Amino acid sequence: MAKKSSGASAGNIFQERFDRFYDELQWLYCELYADNPYVRMHLDDLCSRIREYYEERPADLKASDRKREADPDWYKRNDLLGMMMYVNAFSKTLSGLEEHLDYLRECNVNYLHLMPLLASPAGRSDGGYAVSDFRSVQPELGTIEDFARVTGACHRQGINVCLDFVMNHTSEDHEWAKRARAGEKEYQDRFFFFDTFDIPALYEQTCPQVFPTTAPGNFTWVPDCQKHVMTTFYPYQWDLNYRNPIVLNEMICNMLFLANQGVDIVRLDAVPYIWKQIGTTCRNLPQVHTIVRIMRMICEIVCPGVLLLGEVVMAPDKVVPYFGTVEKPECHMLYNVTTMASTWHTVATRDVSLLRRQMDIVASLPRGYIFQNYLRCHDDIGWGLDYEYLQNFGMQEAPHKKYLNDFFTGLFPGSFGRGELYNDDPRLQDARLCGTTASLCGIEKYGFEGNRAGVELSVRYVITLHAFMFSQSGIPVLYSGDEIGMLNDYTYKKDPDKAPDSRYLHRGDFRWDLAGNRNDPKTVQGMIFPALLKLEKIRSSHAVFNADAALRTLDTWDPSILAVVRETETEKFIGIYNFSEQDKVAWINEEDGTYTDLISGQQLEARGVMIPAFGCYWLLRN
């Protein structure tokens, strides 16, 4: 029964945590499901089951929970470095991943984001985001026991494990979906099923389409049961109905099951979409925040060492509410997607104005807000930029998106980028971009042409972009392969399951043959890998890179040079980044002594700094 105890014993850790949160949990849950006559029964069931997951939680994970409870800011310091990867691309299997943990430690990685690996149907999985069983692993990778063994091995190496938790939908092959298709109303009620298109038509009036080109509409006809089902993303991904408390309870239990397998960071996939309501966009509704707050409290009760990472691909004013408040926090971390997109805009335009504006916005937020920073990820680059601001520079949305895509696909004269479009919609003049960091920065183009000077300049740019990413506040995350300058993999076109999805361009198999060159300074790998390693070690050695350091930008009086200042009471850091292919002068004037460039060791004043093409400085005041 869901009852608050009259007083927990000092040794009853679960009861103490439960008592701390029960009143709020009860209030939020009963408010969310106020129209359900069995709300108390569902709440009691949830509370009973979360106790069971606490009791089943392995002793080593409970010990980690207690350690992190005593140090709640453990993830806010400068010693976390992430890497995201697909297991099958990196090591074929989970057992293979375990064998390669030494490579990850060589990379200084201690935050490993494993892309979706739960059971999903081949050819209808959206890269693993159509889950058919939340408690099984894709059989070609291994078993759930293998996964638990790998997380244990990671923990012994000091590596935290992040896993995607697909909240919005299941695969049409999930047991619930199969039983719904067979006509069982109990399971149809866990999705959004309608006999006619009358109600779906009302949703369609205000609910935007995610993929209007490749998956138009928000509903799919299911011939087996002669009904329409809501499918916001793809027809094989059936939206879950969180208006049904059984759905919330079961999904929370699935999350706790994964946490008990050793997951340290739960990535809440597509979390803004999980509550649907006619007459709205079905995005970012208040009930979403109620659900995330409930999940946060339950994690604090059962597994307080586990972090929630919200995948909210929106502008800062839409993102920030997912942190919650100081008194009622929601997500521990969020993606810094706008800075990522603004960075690539800057690469194409050689103008840092928008990027600087984005940095200033992030710097104005409370320092306790932790963002996950990245240059590239498994997904495409969407051009969700601040077009209202860009209009001040004569940049209109549709033609500017076309310019960016032309630049990075090599269509624009003089462009060095080599990528491909994703979900190109000629009608809306919109498309997203795919490609590895190395290919987008010119290494592919110049390497193909045999232009050694061009390759070396592009390598410098790859290093500079990573240096910029490392100097942002939050947790930097590499995309596996970027550390060795992997290029686009065009072989995906030969696989009928992958060919329709150009995102596989940058999801190629890890090139272990190239990784073997990482200590040869004559190779691309031998230029990039040691340079990133040096940046990572510098970052982890100076407290000025902690999240609580003050952050601001500086005037450089050159549109292609960005200067970022980080300060603590004892250290002052200035990062200077040249987004131009020409040597430039950063006309800064910090008259407070001599600085040391942490990268080269060079001594200089922070005044009128000459910076090479696509180069950077990390200056620290002596």
Count CB neighbours of 71 within 10 A: 10
From the list 98, 239, 311, 380, the catalytic residue is 311
Residue 531's alpha-carbon distances to 131, 158, 366, 390, in angstroms, are 38, 23, 31, 34
Structural tokens at position 388: 């209202």
| Size (the chain), residues | 622
Q: Kindly give, in sequence order, each residue whose CB lies less than 8 Å from that of residue 127, ignoring residues fewer than 6 positions away.
A: 115, 116, 378, 501, 503, 507
Cα–Cα dist 66/54, whole Å: 13
Task: Give catalytic status of residue 311 as yes or no.
Answer: yes
Identify whether the C-beta of residue 160 lies closer than 8 Å to the C-beta of residue 264: yes
Any bridge partners for residue 340, and if so which? Answer: none
Main-chain dihedrals φ then ψ at residue 66, nearest 5 degrees: -65, -40
Structural tokens at position 319: 């993102």
Residue 53's alpha-carbon distances to 47, 60, 108, 241, 257, in angstroms, are 10, 14, 33, 24, 7
Structural tokens at position 90: 């990196």
Identify whether the C-beta of residue 289 lies closer than 8 Å to the C-beta of residue 215: no
Any bridge partners for residue 324, and if so which? Answer: 329
Question: Whose CA is closest to 280, among 197, 200, 205, 225?
Answer: 205
Cα–Cα dist 523/484, whole Å: 10
Helix (H) or strand (E) holding 433: strand 430-434
Identify whether the C-beta of residue 619 lies closer than 8 Å to the C-beta of residue 573: yes
Cα–Cα dist 420/413, whole Å: 16
Residue with tokens 């089943």: 56
From the list 239, 264, 269, 558, the catalytic residue is 269
Sheet with 603-611: strands ordered across: 550-554, 561-567, 572-578, 616-621, 584-597, 603-611
Q: Which residues are catalytic?
A: 269, 311
